[in-house]
Amino acid sequence: MTEMLANLGLGFSTVWKIAWMTDPLMGMAWPVPINLLLCFIGCLVGTLIGVLPGVGPIATIAMLLPITFGLDPIGALIMLAGIYYGAQYGGSTTAILVNIPGEASSVVTTLDGHEMARQGRAGIALGIAAIGSFFAGTVATVIIAALGAPLTKLALVFGPAEYFSLMVMGLVFAVVLARGSILRAIAMIVLGILLSTVGTDLETGQERMTFGLPFLSDGIDFAVLAMGLFGIAEILRNLDHTETRDVVRQAIGRLLPNKQDFKQSALPILRGTAIGGALGILPGNGAVLGPFAAYTVEKRIAKDPRRFGRGAIEGVAGPEAANNAGAQTSFIPLLTLGIPPNAVMALMVGAMTIHGIVPGPQVMTKNPNLFWGMIASMWVGNLMLLIINLPLVGLWVRLLKVPYRLMFPAILMFCCIGIYSINSLQTDVMWIGIFGVIGYALIKFGFEPAPLLLGFVLGKLMEENLRRALIISRGDMMTFLDRPISLGLLVVAALLLIIALLPTIRKSRDEVFVE
Amino acid sequence: MQNWLKGLVAGALALATPALAAYPERNITVVVPFAAGGATDVIARIYADHMSRTLGQQLVVENQTGAGGTIAATRVSKAAPDGYTLLMGNLGTQAASVGLYPNLAYDPRSDFAPIMNAAATPMLVAAKKDLPVKDFREFVAYVKANGAKLNYGTGGVGATSHLTCLFLDTLLDVKVQHVPFRGSGPALNALLAGQIDYVCDQTVGIVPQIQAGQVKGLVAAVKTRIPVIPDVPTSEEQGLPQFQASGWNALFAPKGTPPEIVEKLNAAARAALKDETVRKRLLDIGAELPDEAGQTPAALGELVRSEVEKWVPVIKKAGVTAN
């Protein structure tokens, strides 16, 4: 305990480091809290790119990388980390206001968050997202500080068999989470899984369902699918009946949630933090599951699940807390093992190596001020985000006042620029258009795009880990039951499925879910 | 009047002819065929930063991923040969692709103007902590005896980590089970957890794990020991001198780029490699830097030809295609 406090002390002293800088005008030396300043810049830039639909943290960090060459490595990494979690914050803003999930992790926020915005409670949705995220960020910082090193052992226990079972559980979550007809939800999940099989087969190198087209050889990009199905489709839907948009425009709403809102959100935030934090530690992008899992749990234990998908504040508070907790704890595999769990973290590895720090288990002992400095900066950064965001919420909400005929060309443009900036492929821009039309058709026929996206994300991981587990076991299926963690996850999945199907058996689910 | 006209014509000519000498007069795009943050990207950015200062124009790094980097390489091979579109190619895009992709839209030997070999990352073999071998000699005997039970992990079909393991298979005349991962990071993770038995990978990710004693560094597939891990012997010391493999990264322009421009770019790249900070950054990631003789465009052209000859048979023998 004292050791942890001493470590955190080292971290905070690193964050508060004062550099003497000479100003060019008067030639006087001024004390500048350089790392604090960089943290602030990172958070601000992150929030901004998170809010702009389509411009993601990956492209931003890649672009800013050369600028950090001149900086001290600790400051540079503090700033880049700030961009990452700042973007997570900002991403929920677009999810709520314009119904575009910037990252896989903010997909569920669109469900109730955007609904709240439609009902004129955009301010409260943004407010509770910010407060929930701050709380989750604080707890996650403490988790990293206290348990970072021992928790990596847990991460290593997860092999292909465990991942496969985890993904099975995730897909069961997706069924449980679905609104409306369970059959339609399953159809959407299966379609998502099918889409995820397009591309070069990982094991044999053969192309599947690419029709020989080179731009399909790496499969369909998540960002392309998400931006098309959610972003472009939403624009089409809004253009086809403008009056819904007016509803959002009229009422801005208060920013601070009232006592009743807090009461409803307190427990979901706590549960979301726990779920998101735990899943974030897993390498292999376990963090994606966090918000989905949190949403499912909230919907399951709610007294009245009908409210979900119709602007329930718990449906924003829980997943948002899970999202931020996961974003934070996903630094654990990076900082303690040197292994990046997702694309943004892979970029952080690149940033570290450029600055002469080789990520790996020795970072904690060799560069303790970097390790603890980054952890302390995360808490400071979360506080900054709360301070930056609460007043800015007003500004974001005011965006809704802009007439839609002016808004949608801007959103469309940002989507196109953003998608092009990821892979520099013109075909990606074309694809968001195609998926936009498909998404629009799906909405019109009463199919939800969210389960499709989840099936897409999990399907790929599930297939790869299934085959990998079977290669290692030389084809023995029992590997999934022999391994205790894998078995446990499959049992949970089976139980969840039974619980989910029970209301259908009782014929009451249909009544509950009829629109 | 005539003089005035002559002056004008001469002036116009003076403006027109030294267009080449004025190169570069706008930003230069360096296409990196892989995602930002990887070894090739890091090397490209370190070079681009210094070369921008030498040339007085920004070298903008653009990551264009897809089909093992061949989408980006195809694009550069068909770009205008004016020196404004360059490629940071590597072993994968400029040599192995010939064997991996039957419908490859370019020939790395003839469709590019080589500029300079930028940096290589040596390959090494690392085994999980509890594999019962002390050194590479014991490992060779162990693999020959237990090959059917073992698994090696790679960053995917056709990745350098895969090719190196295939090469080792060929040299030892064994066939070990391949377990592909999406990138070297997850493969390394599986090695740490003991789910796979060994990997053949670049120094970048694996060195810290060897230093921390989390995995066993068995052999480096290079001629001289790698400075950051002096305890890992070379393949020659361990009795398998033919086992030489490194993932090289090099700068290319499209075929037909004027020799003056290639010369200018080569000079700028050489200047970068002379810079102490650049050298230190590259050496810190465990890269091998080309010597004076290896820094010419001709040396790079020769490297491409010899690497195509070396890897294509390995790929063909294993029956691997990526398409």
Residue range A408-417, pLDDT digits in tens: 887 788 778 7
DSSP 8-class letter at B290 = P
Residue A513 is predicted with a pLDDT of 41
Percentages helix, strand, coil for chain A (3-state, rounded to 5) are 75, 0, 20
Per the structure, the complete domain to which residue B306 belongs is given by: 27-120+247-318
Residues B66 and B33 in one domain: yes
Q: Which residue has the higher pLDDT, A14 or B309?
A: B309
Hey, what are B194's tokens? Answer: 């003991």
CATH number at residue B99: 3.40.190.150
Mapping DSSP to helix (H, G, I), strand (E, B) and coil, where does residue A319 land?
helix
Q: What pLDDT does B322 receive?
A: 63
B65 CB neighbours in chain A (<8 A) are 218, 423
Greatest mean pLDDT among A3-12, A348-357, B18-27 lies in A3-12
Structure tokens at A280: 């974030």
Torsion, Cα A215 A216 A219 A223, to 10 degrees, reads 50
Q: Does B190 touch chain A (CB under 8 A)?
A: yes
Strand A29-32 and strand B85-90: the pairing is unpaired
- Mean pLDDT along residues A438-458: 83
- pLDDT at site B152: 95
- pLDDT band, residue A422 (cuts 50/70/90): low
A475 touches chain B (CB under 8 A): no
Could you tell me which of B63, B46, B52 has the C-alpha nearest to residue A356? Answer: B46
Task: Tell me which of B201, B220, B239 is where a domain ends.
Answer: B220
CA B227 to chain CA centroid, nearest Å: 19
Question: Which of A66, A338, A356 has the CB atom closest to B284's CB atom?
Answer: A356
Q: Could you tell me the pTM of the whole model?
A: 0.74
* Collapsed DSSP state (helix, strand, coil) of residue A317: helix
Residues 95-114 of B with CB under 8 A from A: 100
> According to DSSP H, which parts of B56-159 are helical?
70-77, 91, 97-100, 136-146
Chain A residues 324-343 within an 8 A CB cutoff of chain B = 333, 337-340, 343
Residue A307 has pLDDT above 50, yes or no: yes
Q: What is the DSSP letter of A308?
A: T
- The segment with the largest mean pLDDT, out of A144-153, A245-254, A397-406, A444-453, is A444-453
The residue of B29, B121, B192 whose CB has the most chain A CBs within 10 angstroms, and thus the best one to mutate to test that interface, is B192
Which pLDDT band holds residue A512 (cuts at 50, 70, 90)? very low
Domain ends where: B220, B237, B262? Answer: B220
Looking at A180-194, A320-334, A350-364, B97-111, which range is the least confident one?
A350-364
CA gap B148, B154 in Å, rounded: 17
Distances (CA, A) of B111 to A126, A255, B195, B301, B315: 54, 60, 42, 11, 22
Residues B137, B111, single domain; the answer is no
* Alpha-carbon gap, residue A60 to B188, rounded angstroms: 27
One domain for residues B216 and B287: no
pLDDT at B253 (0 to 100): 96
Burial of A399 (0-12, 13-18, 19+ CB in 10 A): middle
Q: Which residue ranges of chain B lie beneath pLDDT 70?
A: 1-21, 37, 322-323
Q: Which of A131-135, A146-150, A496-500, A504-508 has the least mean pLDDT?
A: A504-508
List the single range of A151-155, A297-301, A329-333, A404-408 with lowest mean pLDDT: A151-155
Do the Cβ atoms of A202 and B212 come within 8 Å?
no
Q: Do B114 and B33 share a structural domain?
A: yes
C-alpha pair distances (Å), B64 with each of A28, A80, B109: 46, 22, 21
| Domain residue extents for chain A | 2-10+35-513
**Has residue A503 got a pLDDT over 70?**
no
State how far the Cα of A28 lies from the Cα of A42, in Å rounded to an integer.
Answer: 27
Distance CA B271, CA B50 (A): 8
Q: Do the chains contact at B207 and A468, CB–CB below 8 Å?
A: no
Query: Does residue B175 sit in the same domain as residue B108?
Result: no
Taking each helix axis from N to C terminus, what angle separates A449-472 and A160-177, rounded to the nearest 10 degrees?
160
Cα–Cα distance, B29 to A195 (Å, whole number): 33
Contacts of B74 in chain A (CB under 8 A): 214
Residue B213: which CATH number?
A: 3.40.190.10
**Burial (CB count within 10 angstroms: exposed 0-12, middle 13-18, buried 19+), residue B114:** buried
Looking at the partner chain, which of A62, A205, A283 has a beta carbon nearest the beta carbon of B189?
A: A283
Query: Is some CB atom of chain B closer than 8 A to the CB atom of A211?
Result: no
What burial letters (b/e) apply to B42-52, b meaning 16+ CB within 10 Å?
A: bbbbbbbbbbb
Q: Which of residues 235-294 of A touch B (CB under 8 A)?
A: 283-284
Which DSSP state fits A231? I
* Segment 113-152 of chain B within 8 Å of chain A by CB: 151
Name the residue of chain A whose CA is nearest to B148's CA.
Answer: A474
**DSSP conformation class of A306:** G
Of the candidates B61, B65, B322, the beta carbon closest to that of A205 is on B322
* Radius of gyration (C-alpha) of chain A in whole angstroms: 23
Q: What is the mean pLDDT of chain B?
A: 87
Residues B254 and B115 in one domain: yes
Task: Judge whether residue A511 has pLDDT over 70.
Answer: no
**Are B168 and B136 members of one domain?**
yes
Q: Which residue in A has a C-alpha nearest to residue B203's C-alpha?
A: A358
The pLDDT value recorded for residue A241 is 66
CA torsion through residues B171, B173, B177, B180, sign: positive
Chain A touched by B175 (CB under 8 Å) = no
Same domain, B111 and B149: no
SS3 of B186, please? helix
B116/B251 same-domain check: yes
Separation of alpha carbons B151 and A286, rounded Å:
25
* Interchain contact A348–B (C-beta under 8 A): yes
| Banded model confidence at residue A515, pLDDT cuts 50, 70, 90 | very low
From the candidates A213, A344, A423, which should be mutated to test the interface with B, based on the most B CB atoms within 10 A?
A423
A-interface mutation test, from B30, B60, B70, B71, most A Cβ less than 10 A away: B71
Given a cut of 50, is residue A507 above it in pLDDT? no
Q: 3-class DSSP state for residue B228? A: coil
CB contact under 8 Å between A362 and B46, yes or no, is no
Same domain membership, residue B138 and residue B108: no
pLDDT, greater one: A250 or A107: A107
Q: What is the mean pLDDT of residues A100-117?
A: 78
DSSP state of B176: P
Q: Which residue has the higher pLDDT, A150 or B127?
A: B127
Is B291 part of a structural domain of the chain? yes
Instruction: Answer for the pair B220, B229: CB distance below 8 angstroms, yes or no.
Output: yes
Note whether B145 and B287 are same-domain residues.
no
Judge whether B170 is closer than 8 Å to chain A, CB to CB. no
Residue A53: its pLDDT value, please?
61
B76 vs A contacts (CB less than 8 Å): none
Q: How far apart are CA B308 and CA B94, in angstroms?
A: 8
Q: Do both B105 and B136 map to the same domain?
A: no
Q: Report the share of chain A in percent with pLDDT over 90.
A: 8
The Cα of A378 is separated from the nearest Cα of chain B by a number of Å equal to 22
Phi/psi at A359 (5° precision)? -65, 140
Q: Which residue has the higher pLDDT, A1 or A79?
A: A79
Q: What share of chain B is helix, strand, coil (3-state, %, to 5)?
A: 45, 20, 35
- Tell me which residue of B83, B73, B19, B93 sits closest to B51, measured CA to CA: B83
Residue listed under structure tokens 């092999």: A159
SS (H, E, C) A385-444: HHHHHHHHHHHHHHHCCCCHHHHHHHHHHHHHHHHHHHHCCHHHHHHHHHHHHHHHHHHH
Domain count for chain B, please give it.
Answer: 2
Six-digit token string for A500: 């989910």
Closest CA to B224 of B236, B206, B207, B240: B236
Q: What is the pLDDT of residue A92?
A: 81
Question: How many Cα atoms within 13 Å fall on the side-chain side of residue A405?
Answer: 1
